């Protein structure tokens, strides 16, 4: 019996010696390499270990150096200078679960579609790691990332687990193509739901802070978002840029503030923009609100050929539409001010007032074609209850018929300026007066026009201007139907004989000043030339008593001089 006891003790000592020997060998470079090769040979992973360290003073921790781990034939999932695993009693029943797993100074490549790691931890720590996730809904690239995730229980499609608290900081992080620096995020994962209790970052040379929640259906609710000193440049148009910003399935903004922002894209720019947006929801390129509001001011707003300065706006949003409480700004050296509302159901913009003062505007070369183009689907009609314009300068440099009106004053009442998505003067009354004007090289003084519009006809009850030593007066009527039939009655007293020449009438064989009477009718159809539709008569008499009668048929003039 003594022999058996001594044998057992010897075997135990030998076993203990072997354990100690293996323990010591594993902490050598050869032992770590051998263990990595064995794990690679007997698993689906490619494992490489540089060193294994263990200290009796920190009995529960194992330190692995120069770790390379990944699926065979794939990009390594983990490359780290050091990995620290803190073990516990749970290893007795669950050997793949550790109390704490720390990854330090390396790279972590995540793929939501890849099988989950068998390893789990009560806490996962990242120290100075680079994190890459180029696939899936969250395309991420982070540098110098420090993070803590508790608990960490990865599953297929959930590399961070289904339920966990987390906090993350990164020197730089790019998420879905948006770069940021000095990022700090704290929040919670709950299956597909995500809560961001604290979000901060340096974004586009500015600062961002906020809190937000994502629901299980992918929609977002942003409780607060504050951005300041943003300096953004984009290669997209304004429409494409805004569509990208609100590209999530649904986003609700409880409050969003943009302070001192400067943004620039293709044919658009905002300078010194301050904006506050409250209680708005954006989804599928549209918006909705129960009691939303938007207020902003900017030194410059540029979109295409429109450049507004010193702009100020306050609007409220409801299911019925948009209430424009205040909008003002400077455009082409002039001052604009308006208020009114846009009705969602009718797609109708109804302005209570529109004031324009001090404008100096050169009409674009295609303004006539733009006037005939249909308005977008969201704008079916435009009405102005009160229109006033003071001291404006309007210039048209079209070679065919240039004109300029100086010190133009306009008053209007109950105007309908767009109907069925088409610009026009469809209803209301308007009076226009100027100090001087030039129409195709013919100068006039104090031009004046008064018109009244109904659904069928545009009536010009007064049209007058002084020219040279005389006066021109006219009345006209224009049909609002597609053919645009019109009639014109023009009288001139003591005007130059060829005052009408620059406006298309042939030269008259008269000299000096004349009295004339012109009766004209035709069609201003958009798709057809004007001249072939013109018919009328002209009577003229000069100071010597010489008279002239001319007849206009389909744009051609015949004349019969009288003694």
User: 92 in helix, strand or coil?
Assistant: helix
Q: Over the stretch 300-359, which tens digit does the pLDDT of each residue have?
A: 999 988 899 999 999 999 999 999 999 999 999 999 999 999 999 999 999 999 999 999
CA-based Rg of the chain, rounded to a whole angstrom? 40
CB-based contact 203:185 (threshold 8 Å):
no
Is position 397 within any domain? yes
Helix axes 29-41, 2-26, angle to 10 degrees: 90
Contact of 415 with 430, CB cutoff 8 Å: yes
Q: Pick the last residue of a domain from 438, 455, 472.
A: 455
Q: How much is the pLDDT for 556?
A: 83
- Supply the pLDDT for residue 555: 76
Residue 229 in any domain: the answer is: no
* Whether 519 and 441 share a structural domain: no
Q: Which residue has the higher pLDDT, 278 or 559?
A: 278
List pLDDT tens digits, range 203-212: 999 999 999 9
Q: Is residue 313 part of a domain?
A: no
pLDDT (0 to 100) of residue 563: 44
pLDDT over 60 at 78, yes or no = yes
User: Does 528 lie in the same domain as 409?
Assistant: no
**Residue 446 clears pLDDT 60, i.e. is over it:** yes
- For 123-145, how does the pLDDT look when each residue is reduced to its tens digit (9 = 90+)? 999 999 999 988 777 888 999 99
**336 shares its domain with 420:** yes
Task: Please tell me the predicted confidence (pLDDT) of residue 560.
Answer: 56
Q: What does the pLDDT look like over 46-70, one tens digit per residue? A: 887 878 776 766 666 788 888 888 8
> pLDDT tens, 419-443?
999 998 999 999 999 999 999 999 9
For residues 224 and 226, give the distance between their C-alpha atoms in angstroms, rounded to a whole number: 7
**Within this chain, do residues 443 and 403 fall inside the same structural domain, yes or no?**
yes
| 350, containing H or E segment | strand 348-357
Q: Are residues 443 and 495 in the same domain?
A: no
Q: Please provide the average confidence, as pLDDT, over all residues in the chain.
A: 87
Last residue of a domain, one of 437, 455, 473: 455
- The range of the structural domain enclosing residue 373 comes to 320-455
> Which candidate, 82, 142, 64, places its Cα nearest to that of 110?
142
pLDDT the model gives residue 197? 94
In the Cβ-directed half-sphere of 529, how many Cα atoms lie within 13 Å? 4
């Amino acid at each position: 019996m003594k022999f058996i006891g001594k044998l057992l003790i010897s075997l135990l000592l030998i076993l203990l010696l072997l354990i100690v020997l293996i323990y010591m060998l594993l902490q050598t470079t050869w032992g770590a390499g051998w263990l990595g090769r064995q794990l690679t040979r007997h698993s689906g992973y490619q494992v490489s270990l540089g060193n294994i360290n263990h200290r009796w003073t920190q009995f529960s921790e194992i330190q692995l150096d120069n770790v390379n781990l990944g699926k065979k034939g794939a990009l390594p999932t983990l490359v780290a200078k050091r990995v620290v695993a803190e073990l516990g009693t749970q290893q007795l029943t669950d050997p793949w679960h550790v109390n704490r797993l720390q990854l330090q100074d390396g790279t972590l490549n995540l793929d939501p579609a890849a099988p989950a790691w068998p390893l789990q931890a009560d806490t996962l720590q990242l120290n100075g790691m680079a994190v890459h996730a180029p696939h899936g809904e969250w395309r991420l690239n982070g540098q110098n990332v420090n993070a803590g995730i508790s608990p960490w229980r990865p599953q297929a499609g959930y590399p961070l687990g289904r339920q966990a608290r987390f906090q993350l900081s990164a020197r730089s992080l790019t998420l879905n193509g948006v770069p940021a620096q000095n990022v700090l995020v704290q929040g919670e994962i709950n299956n597909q739901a995500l809560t961001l209790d604290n979000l901060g970052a340096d974004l586009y040379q500015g600062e961002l802070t906020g809190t937000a929640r994502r629901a299980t259906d992918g929609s977002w609710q942003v409780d607060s978002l504050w951005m300041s000193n943003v300096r953004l440049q984009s290669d997209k148009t304004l429409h494409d840029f805004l569509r990208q910003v609100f590209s999530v399935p649904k986003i609700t903004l409880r409050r969003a503030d943009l302070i001192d922002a400067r943004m620039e894209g293709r044919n658009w720019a905002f300078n010194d923009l301050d904006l506050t947006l409250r209680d708005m929801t954006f989804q599928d390129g549209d918006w909705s609100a129960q009691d939303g509001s938007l207020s902003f001011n900017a030194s410059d707003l540029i979109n295409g050929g429109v450049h507004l300065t010193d702009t100020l706006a306050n609007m409220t949003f409801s299911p019925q539409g948009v209430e424009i409480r205040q909008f003002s700004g400077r455009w082409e050296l002039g001052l604009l001010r308006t208020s009114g509302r846009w009705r969602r159901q009718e797609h109708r913009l109804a302005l209570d007032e529109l004031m324009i003062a001090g404008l100096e505007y050169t009409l674009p070369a295609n303004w006539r074609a733009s006037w005939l183009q249909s308005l977008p689907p969201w704008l079916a009609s435009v009405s102005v209850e009160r229109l006033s314009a003071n001291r404006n300068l309007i210039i048209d440099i079209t070679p065919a018929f240039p004109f300029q009106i100086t010190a133009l004053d306009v008053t209007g009442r109950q105007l309908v300026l767009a109907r069925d998505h088409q610009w026009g003067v469809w209803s209301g009354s308007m009076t226009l007066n100027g100090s001087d004007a030039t129409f195709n090289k013919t100068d006039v003084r104090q031009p004046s026009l008064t018109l009244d519009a109904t659904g069928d006809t545009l009536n010009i009850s007064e049209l007058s201007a002084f020219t040279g030593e005389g006066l021109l007066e006219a009345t006209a009527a224009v049909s609002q139907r597609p053919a645009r039939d019109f009639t014109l009655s023009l009288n001139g007293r003591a005007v130059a004989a060829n005052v009408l020449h620059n406006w298309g009438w042939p030269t008259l064989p008269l000299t000096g000043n004349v009295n004339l009477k012109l009766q004209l009718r035709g069609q201003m159809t958009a798709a057809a030339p004007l001249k072939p539709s013109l018919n009328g008569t002209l009577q003229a008499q000069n100071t010597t008593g010489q008279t002239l009668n001319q007849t206009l048929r389909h744009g051609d003039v015949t004349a019969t001089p009288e003694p």
